Amino acid sequence: MSRASPSTHRRQSSSSVTYPPRCQCLVDSRTRCNARTVPRRQVCDAHLAAYEKSYRDYKDAADETITLRVQLKRGDVHSLDLVEVDARIIDVRAYIDALEKELALRKEHDWTFVGEPDEGHQERLRKIEQRLAHNREIIHMLRSR
């Protein structure tokens, strides 16, 4: 799967970019680095390796969710053979764990390196939370069989 460079994957609109660009890395619980950086990059050289690792970590977690994604609709739960239920619970639980990991890593990345995520990132977080809710309901339905 081809990806944009992690250091340039998010381009800010020209109205939100300050000149010279400043690093957005959180250095403590309240303070952002604010060191100069190059255009189209959100972090300075000192924080670049940590930013890229964080980016790779949440993208790898996203790839894992794609691999584990379980296609099971609520209506299909009751038509499963009982011998399939335990295996499906294991599959759905693994998918939920992967979604939770991706969500946590994305939130941590945004908090540490971005501050307030853009609309695209917020939408992605909402979609992950919706998938979690759906699959938790599926687990509950499977366990009640």
Task: Say whether pLDDT at 104 is over 90.
Answer: yes
User: Is 37 part of a structural domain of the chain?
Assistant: no
Domain count of the fold of the chain: 1
User: Is 34 part of a structural domain of the chain?
Assistant: no
Residue whose tokens read 């609309």 = 119
Closest Cα partner for 51 from 101, 104, 9, 102?
9
Per the structure, the complete domain to which residue 55 belongs is given by 48-143
Residue range 86-105: mean pLDDT, rounded: 95
Gap between the Cα atoms of 88 and 76, Å rounded: 11
* pLDDT, averaged across the chain: 87
Residue whose tokens read 């790839």 = 63
User: Is 27 part of a structural domain of the chain?
Assistant: no
Percent of the chain with pLDDT over 90: 60
User: Is 29 part of a structural domain of the chain?
Assistant: no
User: Is 41 part of a structural domain of the chain?
Assistant: no
Decide which of 97 and 88 is more confident: 97
Residue 4 has φ and ψ, to the nearest 5°, of: -70, 160
Answer whether the bond into residue 6 is a cis peptide, omega within 30°: no
User: Is 64 part of a structural domain of the chain?
Assistant: yes
User: Is 136 part of a structural domain of the chain?
Assistant: yes
Task: Say whether pLDDT at 141 is over 60.
Answer: yes
User: Is 89 part of a structural domain of the chain?
Assistant: yes
Task: Say whether pLDDT at 2 is over 60.
Answer: no
The pLDDT tens digits for 51-82 are 999 999 999 999 999 998 877 777 778 778 88
Q: Which long-range contacts (CB under 8 A, 24 or more apart) does 110-113 make?
A: 111/26, 112/25, 112/26, 112/50, 112/54, 113/24, 113/25, 113/26, 113/42, 113/43, 113/47, 113/51, 113/54
